[in-house]
Chains A and B, each alone.
Chain A
Amino acid sequence: DIQMTQSPSSLSASVGDAVTITCRASQSISTFLSWYRQKPGKAPELLIYGTSSLRRGAPSRFSGSGSGTEFTLTISSLQPEDFATYYCQQSYTTPRTFGPGTKVDFK
């Protein structure tokens, strides 16, 4: 199975801050990497797919990059609704593994 790791596991930030989250795969997954945001008590929502494609309707402050085994999610200017947990997920093969999550909270 492909293992996914994320760093940091949590971070504290303020509205307006730029934030970067890193995701690593245990083997190459090409660009089959998605990012999801999960607000407390809610279902996950897709933000980025195919490593860098912004989901239609997702805010443009979200961007993704990377390939192979290392990927990043960047939030250019954190908004109040972005205080949530972020998960990366590989869809290169099954099982479709998720990273352990990065919780973004208020500084």
Chain B
Amino acid sequence: QLQLVESGGGLVKPGGSLTLSCEASGFTFSDFFMNWVRQAPGKGLEWISYISRSGSMKEYAESVTGRFTISRDNAKRSLYLEMNSLRVEDTAVYYCAREVANHNNMDVWGKGTTVTVSS
């Protein structure tokens, strides 16, 4: 069964740091680009980052560039998002999603992990 499970969310103060993890199962993790997408409370979806199969290529939304770092460990079938200098506006549910080549659509999503940035 194709599955992505996020973890690592929690409550953090503004300016703090947090690292999210996403563990994959049911498919060959190293064959796929991976994404992080977030959703602020009551708001729409916001793509924030992706990483290539080997990890050599990474891209970020402007809103997180310089503060967030995406990485992966194919041996551990895991994706990570290191978040630094967190702001109140980073409060959201964070989803990891698998990206299928050719049409670049996100076909498998995790259930999400909640990050709350508040003093």
CB proximity of A57 to chain B, nearest CB, Å:
10
Q: Which residue of B lies closest to A92 (CB)?
A: B104
Query: Could you tell me if A95 and B95 are in contact, using CB atoms closer than 8 angstroms?
Result: no
Query: Could you tell me if B50 and A43 are in contact, using CB atoms closer than 8 angstroms?
Result: no
How many residues on chain B are close to A (CB under 8 Å)?
A: 23
Within 8 A of A (CB), among B21-61: 35, 37, 44-47, 50, 59, 61
Q: Which listed residue, A38, A42, A49, A98, touches B105 by the CB 8 Å rule?
A: A49
Within 8 A of B (CB), among A31-77: 31-32, 34, 36, 38, 42-46, 49-50, 53, 55
Interface size class of A (residues with CB under 8 A): 20 to 34
Q: Which residue of A lies closest to B63 (CB)?
A: A95
Give Cα A49–Cα B98 distance, bound, in whole angstroms.
14
**Which residues of B does A touch, CB under 8 Å?**
35, 37, 44-47, 50, 59, 61-62, 95, 99-100, 102-107, 109-112
